Homo-oligomer: A and B are copies of this chain.
Amino acid sequence: MARYDFASDNTAPAAPEAMEALVRANEAGFTPGYGSDPVTAAAADAVRALLETDAEVRFVASGTAANAICLAALARPFEAVLAHRHAHVLTDETGAPGLFGHGVGLTGLEGASGRIDPAGLEAVLAEPEVSHRQPPAALSLTQATEYGAVYPGEALAALCARAKSSGLGVHLDGARLANAAAAGFDVRTIGPMGVDLLVLGGAKSGMPPCEAIVIFDRALARRFDARLKQSGQLASKGRFLAAPFLGMLADGAWARRAAHANAMAARLAAACPFPLAHPVEANGVFVHMDEARLEALRTEGWFVYRFLDGSVRFMCSWATSAEAVDEIAAALRRIA
Interface on A for B, CB 8 Å cutoff?
Answer: 3-5, 7-8, 10-14, 19, 22-23, 26-34, 61-66, 68-69, 76-80, 91-105, 129, 131-135, 203, 208-209, 223, 225-237, 240-241, 303, 319
Contact = CB atoms under 8 A, between A and B. Distances in A.
- A contacts with B: majority SS: loop
Given A98-B105, A104-B98, A32 B11 contact: yes
A319 B61 CA distance: 24
Contact of A8 (B8, B129, B235, B236): B236
13 contacts: A7-B32, A7-B33, A8-B33, A13-B30, A26-B208, A77-B227, A78-B230, A94-B133, A94-B134, A95-B105, A98-B104, A101-B103, A208-B237
B31 A14 contact: no
A65 B135 contact: no
Nearest to A320: B30
Given A22-B208, A103-B230, 7 more contacts: A7-B33, A10-B236, A79-B223, A92-B132, A93-B230, A131-B228, A209-B236
A91 B65 CA distance: 23
Contact of A77 (B3, B5, B203, B230): B230
Contact of A5 (B30, B223, B234): B30
Q: How many monomers of this chain does the complex have?
A: 4
A229 B93 contact: yes
Contact of A94 (B68, B226, B236): B226
Contacts of A91: 133
The 10 closest A-B CB pairs, nearest first, are A65-B232, A98-B103, A61-B61, A131-B225, A10-B236, A99-B103, A94-B230, A62-B232, A94-B229, A102-B102
A184 B49 CA distance: 51
A124 to B, nearest CB: 14
A199 B78 CA distance: 20
B26 A11 contact: no
Contacts of A65: 231-233
A232 B234 contact: no
A266 B265 CA distance: 58
A241 B96 CA distance: 20
Contacts of A7: 30, 32-33
B95 A235 contact: no
B23 A11 contact: no
Contacts of A233: 62, 65, 232
Contacts of A232: 61-62, 64-66, 68-69, 96, 100, 231-233
A80 B27 CA distance: 38
A13 B34 contact: no
A99 B79 contact: no
Nearest to A72: B77
A231 B95 CA distance: 9
Contact of A229 (B64, B80, B227, B319): B64
A14 B131 contact: no
